[in-house]
């Protein structure tokens, strides 16, 4: 297993070990919590030496994503190197019927994937739960609220590229990951997510979890690449926007101290 330099995965080298834990778990364990037969990360010398300090072997983590996204025979011919992340991402998008432009940046394609996840997640929730969700995301007038309006709010947040988009991503992906890998995001509770997170542990959360549990992900590779790509997308949002949220919170605290 060898890392193929990939500009779209290099940021993982700046992610803290504890935040890489969920991604490593996706790559190494199935939904039942058992080690995957097809994984190669836990048998590597660096993993055995440094675990759970994942940052020490982040390139092996990235290489495992690349390997799962590639044909095994072709990987052997490449000297153990898989395909670049963008190819893994677009393959996942094709599988999940995501609308995207192949010439777009990885971040934009990931945003399209996240929007599809959000859309699929709220499509079947009740009008009452939809209203609660709208209220929790700051919508003042929820009279006649529709799925389209909620999705419009989310799309605006993603287009703006902000801490708010990171919050929304965490909220939904946390519920989706419980269905896909049997547990939510370990770092989801480390940030102020308003009361939306509480709502996502109630009936809405159960509806989302039920929807994604029922999805048949054909092929063992997709059972790895789909949750792993979602994890990478979340980590990229965290890398880009979490500091922005911390700065806003600090400014708010300073302001409140003056009044």
Report, as an integer, the average pLDDT of 113-122. 82
Nearest alpha carbon to residue 163 among 107, 106, 247: 247
Q: What is the pTM of this model?
A: 0.82
- For residue 239, pLDDT over 80 is answered with yes
Model pLDDT for residues 127-138, shown as the tens digit of each residue: 777 777 777 666
- For residue 249, pLDDT over 50 is answered with no
Side-chain half-sphere exposure of 66, counting CA atoms within 13 A = 27
Percentage of residues in the chain having pLDDT higher than 70: 74
Model pLDDT for residues 61-75, shown as the tens digit of each residue: 999 999 988 754 344
Angle between helices 85-95 and 220-258 (to 10 degrees): 100
- For residue 167, pLDDT over 80 is answered with no
Report, as an integer, the average pLDDT of 117-129. 77
Residue 234: CB atoms within 10 A of its CB come to: 24
Task: Dihedral sign for Cα 48, 52, 57, 61, please.
Answer: positive
Partners of 29 in the β-ladder: 35
Element (H, E) at 45: helix 45-50
What is the structure's pLDDT at 59? 96
What is the structure's pLDDT at 9? 97
């Amino acid at each position: 297993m060898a890392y193929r330099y990939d500009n779209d995965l290099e940021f993982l080298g700046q992610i803290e070990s504890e935040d890489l834990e969920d991604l490593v778990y996706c790559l190494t364990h199935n939904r039942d919590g058992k080690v995957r037969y097809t994984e190669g990360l836990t048998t590597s010398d660096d993993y055995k030496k440094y675990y759970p300090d994942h940052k020490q072997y982040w390139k092996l983590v990235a290489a495992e994503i690349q390997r799962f996204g590639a044909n095994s025979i072709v990987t052997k011919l490449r000297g153990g190197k898989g395909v670049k992340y963008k190819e893994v991402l677009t393959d996942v998008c094709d599988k999940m019927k995501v609308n995207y432009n192949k010439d777009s940046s990885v971040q934009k394609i990931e945003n399209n994937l996240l929007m599809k996840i959000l859309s699929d997640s709220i499509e079947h929730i009740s009008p009452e739960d939809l209203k609660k969700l709208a209220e929790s995301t700051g919508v003042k007038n929820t009279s006649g609220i529709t799925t389209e309006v909620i999705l419009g709010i989310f799309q605006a947040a993603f287009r703006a590229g902000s801490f708010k988009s990171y919050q929304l991503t965490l909220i939904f992906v946390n519920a989706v990951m419980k269905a896909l890998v049997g547990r939510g995001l370990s770092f989801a509770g480390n940030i102020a997510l308003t009361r939306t997170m509480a709502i996502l542990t109630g009936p809405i959360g159960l509806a989302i979890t039920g929807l994604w549990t029922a999805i048949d992900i054909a092929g063992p590779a997709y059972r790895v690449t789909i949750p792993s790509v979602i994890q990478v997308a979340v980590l990229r949002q965290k890398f880009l926007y979490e500091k922005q949220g911390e700065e806003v919170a600090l400014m708010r605290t300073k302001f409140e101290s003056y009044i």
